[in-house]
Structure 1
């Protein structure tokens, strides 16, 4: 199993809109091959900061299966415009 970890810094004042769009985006990621589970947690101290953790069966399921899919383009359209700066994604086993 691979754990994907991303720290998401959201543009100031956009957290509510981000959360609404994330609820829509959850159905996209959860339908992907190799997806196991995910959690989105909001920072206690920083209002517009979140951590996203996603469990994948393999690294390829995330980096190839998801990121090179049509579904990823929908995910991207829903979420990427909220990030500032764009998050660094790390993987752990």
Structure 2
């Protein structure tokens, strides 16, 4: 399983609307993509305009090819993109260890 980690900064004062938009975008758009296995969103305490979006994919290709190069990506960006203060920083991670 692959973890996509997106560090998102939004425009000040948009938290309530973005909270709704990111959840709706993941659950109605990204969740339809092949290989999607779940997600988590965290909002910064010290920096409330900073969000960490973690999406679990079966494979890296599920994210990079199936989603990013497919028809769902523009739909996702139409929902969340207007809130962005800067382009998100996205990286991918392999699981090394976990608690039980």
The two structures have a TM-score, normalised by structure 2, of: 0.87
Q: The residue matched to 1:60 in structure 2 has which SS?
A: helix
Could you give the per-residue CA deviations for residues 45-79 of structure 1, whole angstroms, max 9, x where no partner exists? 11211100011011110011001111111101001
Q: Which runs of 5+ in 1 are unaligned?
A: none
Q: Which runs of 5+ in 2 are unaligned?
A: 95-100
Corresponding residue for residue 65 of structure 1: 66
The 2-side partners of 1:46 and 1:88 are apart by 16
Runs of 4+ in 1 over 3 A off after TM superposition: none
Secondary structure of the residue aligned to 2:29 is helix
Root-mean-square deviation (Å): 1.0
Q: How big is the shift at 1:91? A: 0.4
